[in-house]
Amino acid sequence: MDAAMFADMMAGIEKTLKPYQEGFAKYDYLPEKGMDREEILELMEQFKDMEASKWKEGFISGAVYHGNEAYIDFMNRVYAINSQSNPLHPEIWPSTSKFEAEVVAMTANMLSADRTSDEIVGTVTSGGTESILLAMKTYRDWARETKDITEPEIIAPTTAHAAFTKAGDYFGIKVVRIPVGADFRADVPATWEAINENTIALVGSAPPFPHGIVDPIEELSELARQHELGFHTDACLGGFILPWAEKLGYTVPPFDFRLPGVTSISVDTHKYGYAAKGTSVVLYRGAELRHFQYFSVTDWPGGFYVSPTFAGSRSGALSAVAWAAMVSLGEKGYLDTAKRILETTAWLKREMREIPDIDMIGDPLFMVTFQSKSLNVYQIMEYMTERNWDLSGLHLPPSAHLCITLRHTQEGVKERFLEDFTEAVKYVKEHPEASEGMGPIYGMAAAIETRGMVKSVFNWFMDLLYTV
């Protein structure tokens, strides 16, 4: 990485952190005497005011999926009532067990579990990444015990979330990544060719994070079924909106438990489920499979120990919030919010398709994703950043997206986005020499010979976040 580029990137990140690091009292040692509670609350309010306008006014992609003030107040009250609860101790907080069991059951039924059987089971987790990690660990242990596979492999499209690579790294699973087709969907014949005697599971997403286009889950899961493999649908992003899109009459490719080959699904309550950050659900076809996720130990002096997920103690309050979100919204609430999001997306896609030099990628239901043959999309992103917008930059190929949430359905937001975006495209066309923002970083990150260097920059970045 060249020094100027590195300095540029560093300066950008430091500029964001600086007001927080320098503008307020620093605590790198415990204060001798505790700080006044009112003062702490004032400080928190100040930080909130500095940060909230961007997401509240709909300038960011994804991240805050609901964000209505009164709704947040309600979630906060639910959290406060349950703040001491810990699902590790069901004997003390049986209500938390009830909440978690019902969150799992409601989610399973939303994803077409057979209501007359209890075949589809699952657990509450801390987020999409944990749901994916747990599912991959489960398949590893299942394949070891039932098939004697000691060098496990999973096959996933390149677009499946980075958490699958993380799972491979953590659990000693080889992750075979298959390039997606020209339509940005998983390549079924190439997946078939990659299956070997060490394959334990196949993966597809509904939809993947980058372009929002649902994989051919029906074909992939059938391939898995024929080979007696696990099949995981990653519906972290789409799981709480696609079922409602389908009910509203949109075309949604099948991805859930209606497909007999689908043996697990990850689905995030903390995205379009509209719960507070910190919960997701992982579902399995069959209690036996879920047993491979659990951990127990009987020879520890601390007593018998058993936990369903990675954490030991965890927040029961977040599970209560997820439950409260689901039962307070109900089917009608999810249908109404989905309708607004899908209509906003459709409007934006239609308008953006008219902009010269911009190529919209596919037809995602709740995302607008674009690339360009003639312009540098990272320059467009850079211009949008100057206008306060926070788009998600993508690479391989260079592109960017705005993931549509309820925040974008507020009056005037989509029009403001279109206006700024149109100007951004015009500006970049007229000033191709403008700063490329993250462009070169993406370019370099994609080049094999510099990946090691980029990794050390990422290490530096993580270290910076923990610098007082």
Ligand X SMILES: Cc1ncc(COP(=O)(O)O)c(C=O)c1O
Binding site for ligand X (CB under 6 A): 127-129, 161, 163, 205, 208-209, 234, 236-237, 268, 280
Rank residues 263 and 372 by Cβ distance to ligand X and give the closer one: 263
Nearest C-alpha neighbor of 202 from the set 181, 170, 225, 235: 225
Burial 191-220 (b: 16+ CB within 10 A, else e): bbebbeebbbbbbbbbbbbbbbbbbbbbbb
The distance of closest approach from Cβ of residue 165 to ligand X in the complex, given in angstroms and rounded to an integer, is 12
Closest CB to ligand X among 131 and 379?
131
Residue nearest to ligand X according to CB distances in the complex: 128
Q: Are 411 and 341 in contact (CB under 8 A)?
A: no
> Smallest distance, Å, CB 128 to ligand X?
2
- Report d(CA 120, CA 112) in Å as an integer: 9
Residue whose CB is less far from ligand X, 161 or 185:
161
- DSSP class of residue 157? E
Q: Nearest distance from residue 209's CB to ligand X, in Å?
A: 3
154 DSSP β-pair partners: 175, 201
Task: Please identify, using beta-carbon distances, which residue of 167 and 200 lies nearer to ligand X.
Answer: 167
- Cβ 192 to ligand X, closest distance in Å? 23
Q: Which is nearer to ligand X, 129 or 199 (CB)?
A: 129
CB of 288 to ligand X, least distance (A): 25
Q: Smallest gap, in angstroms, from Cβ of residue 425 to ligand X?
A: 26
Closest to ligand X by CB, 96 vs 205, is 205
Query: What is the four-CA torsion angle of 239, 244, 245, 250, rounded to 10 degrees?
Result: 130
**Spatial distance between the Cα atoms of 149 and 141, rounded to a whole number of angstroms:** 9
> Least distance in Å: CB of 392 to ligand X?
9
3-state secondary structure 322-350: HHHHHHHHHHHHHHHHHHHHHHHHHHHHH
Q: Which is nearer to ligand X, 233 or 372 (CB)?
A: 233
Q: State how far the Cα of 201 lies from the Cα of 366, in Å rounded to an integer.
A: 28
Residue ranges in 23-122 assigned as alpha helix (H): 37-56, 69-81, 94-110
